[in-house]
Amino acid sequence: MSLWQKAALVYFVILLGAASLNYIPGATDEKGVAFGVFALDLFDDALHLASALWALVAALVSSRAARTFLILFGVLYLGDGLLGLATGSGYLDFGIFTNGVQSLPFTFRILANLPHIGLGAAALIASLDWSRRA
């Protein structure tokens, strides 16, 4: 199994965890907010679950499929996180279209978008062909 396939499997586990946050007792407060920041709804859960399944299938199919997943996932999630950081709304959940630009505290926007920025950037870094750099 290639490093790209292993990375895609790690993403499968992370994204499955994100999709399950609303269903783990004690992971969210009485308002459905996880970690005091994220209010994930059914659409968010479905998005994370679909991304997790995409990661799993890519990891199981081939090294090339896993690398393609890492690149596309990285671009999509990093872009969503950066847009959310700039505007308070992302595009993966259609927030920019339904809510527009939101006036949220910058610290909150950082905390709310850090997972997508971090996961997206890490996926893009993991997708690099390190063998050619040696």
pLDDT at 132: 63
Sequence-separated (6 or more) residues with CB below 8 Å from residue 35: none
pLDDT at 40: 75
Locate 72 and state its tokens: 């596309």
- pLDDT tens digit sequence for 13-65: 999 998 988 788 777 777 777 776 777 778 888 999 999 999 999 999 999 99
Is there a contact between 102 and 60 (Cβ–Cβ < 8 Å)? no
Average pLDDT score, the chain: 90
In this predicted structure, the answer to whether residue 134 has a pLDDT above a threshold of 50 is no
Task: Supply the pTM of this predicted model.
Answer: 0.88
pLDDT at 37: 72
Locate 92 and state its tokens: 């993966």
Domain enclosing residue 120, as ranges? 3-133
pLDDT at 131: 63
pLDDT at 5: 97
User: What's the Cα-to-Cα distance from 106 to each of 8, 21, 25, 72, 112, rounded to whole Å?
Assistant: 31, 24, 30, 27, 10
- pLDDT tens digit sequence for 64-113: 999 999 999 999 999 999 999 999 888 998 889 988 999 988 998 999 89
How many domains, in total, are found in the chain? 1
